Amino acid sequence: MISFITSNKGKYVEARAIIDGLEQKDLGYTEIQADTLEEVAVYGINEIMARLKEPAMLEDAGLFIEALGGFPGVYSAYVQKTIGNEGILRLMDGISNRKAFFKSVVVYSEPGLEPRMFQGIVEGQIGHEARGSSGFGYDPIFYVGEKSLAEMELAEKNRISHRAASMRALDEWLEGR
């Protein structure tokens, strides 16, 4: 059994479809201010492992927009909660470079094992308008090809999503050892 440390039921459901033997644990952990998702994730898992003497994983993700110097990046959740998609569209108004990527970092550890990191990335574009109603967060303004992530069926999104990719990478590593 692996404890997935998250308060987000949706993330857990997504992960469980890929990795066997997961269990959600809403333990809470310190998220630090840092330049990278990796630093946030490793700090978090080390704190968790000091309390929990069993296999555990957690995940952190963000949206990185090239023309905005990587904003909102590590602080994507906070930015979504405050200025939201409308704010991002305003910031991108008149900017022709719309390149962006979503990145997910999963970190896994167990007693006696240094944390192992796995990542998934999906490249796309910031659209000129929000479209679609599935998914959540930045999905309606993040386009891969002609469609926003919020216009995709869950199965289609899961084929390309950054989170599915990082979870699959962890799953392969778990299966392979």
Rounded to 10 degrees, what is the CA torsion of 145, 148, 150, 151? -70
CB-wise, 93 or 146, nearer to a second copy?
93
Backbone angles phi, psi at 116, to 5 degrees: -110, 135
Contact 124, 143 (CB under 8 A): yes
Catalytically annotated residue among 20, 26, 35, 60 = 60
**Between residue 89 and residue 108, which ones bind a second copy under the rule CB under 8 A?**
90-91, 93
* Site track 35-74 with a second copy (rule: CB under 8 A), x = hit: -----x--x------------------------xxxxxxx
The residue within the footprint of a second copy, chosen from 3, 8, 83, 147 (CB under 8 A), is 83
* CA distances (Å), origin 90, targets 72, 125, 139, 146: 14, 15, 16, 21
Binding site annotation covers 81?
A: no
* CA distances (Å), origin 33, targets 43, 94, 115: 10, 30, 19
Known catalytic residue at 60: yes
CB-wise, 62 or 140, nearer to a second copy?
62
Q: Which stretch binds a second copy (CB under 8 A): 19-27, 87-95, 104-112, 116-124?
A: 87-95
**How far apart are alpha carbons 108 and 115 in whole angstroms?**
6
The residue within the footprint of a second copy, chosen from 87, 97, 128, 159 (CB under 8 A), is 87
What residues are designated binding site for Mg(2+)? 31, 60
Catalytic residues: 60
